Amino acid sequence: MIPTILSVDDSKTIRQVLARLFRPFLCELCEAANGEEGLAMVAQKRPDLIILDYNMPVMDGITMLRRLREDAGLKRTPVIMLTAESGCENMAIVARLGVRDYLTKPFREDQLLAKAGRIIPLLRRPESGILSPTAECPPP
């Protein structure tokens, strides 16, 4: 079983950067554009890791995180939070909600890979390119 990563960010640019970043690894990457879509995707895909933006319209990251932690079946899903602001007071709340790690945007790509690699196995995809990282994902 290859791990599934869910990227929840209202910025398509950031979602595309994450797709490029994880493309060389054996994983399935799915996307959602806000917390509401993110919760629906979590229920459908049961991801092994969520990379979650903090500040989003419709439903922000902290609300999605709270909802996730209220669900007995999903509350242990590991989350890495992305935030535009370092040192934000709300990050203390996020930490209490069990976020495994967080990064400030713009993040260093090697740091995000290292943090993700501590949560899920990140094995490099064979160079044959037979497997497509998003083959099982619905289009965003």
**Nearer Cβ to other proteins (62/122):** 62
129 in contact with other proteins (CB under 8 A): no
Residues 96-115 that bind other proteins (CB under 8 A): 104-106, 108
**Nearer Cβ to other proteins (57/121):** 57
Q: How far is the CB of 12 from other proteins (least distance, A)?
A: 5
Q: Are 48 and 4 in contact (CB under 8 A)?
A: yes
Helix, strand, coil percentages in the chain from 3-state DSSP, rounded to 5: 35, 20, 45
Contact residue for other proteins among 40, 43, 44, 57 (CB under 8 A): 57
Q: Are 6 and 31 in contact (CB under 8 A)?
A: yes
**Residues in a beta bridge with 104:** 83
Q: 70: burial class by Cβ within 10 Å (0-12, 13-18, 19+)?
A: exposed
Contact residue for other proteins among 8, 14, 81, 94 (CB under 8 A): 14
Q: 124: burial class by Cβ within 10 Å (0-12, 13-18, 19+)?
A: exposed
Residues 65-94 that bind other proteins (CB under 8 A): 83-90
Q: Which stretch binds other proteins (CB under 8 A): 53-61, 70-78, 113-121, 123-131?
A: 53-61
Give the count of beta carbons closer than 10 Å to the beta carbon of residue 100: 16
Binding residues for other proteins, per CB under 8 A? 10-14, 16-17, 20, 23, 55-57, 83-90, 104-106, 108
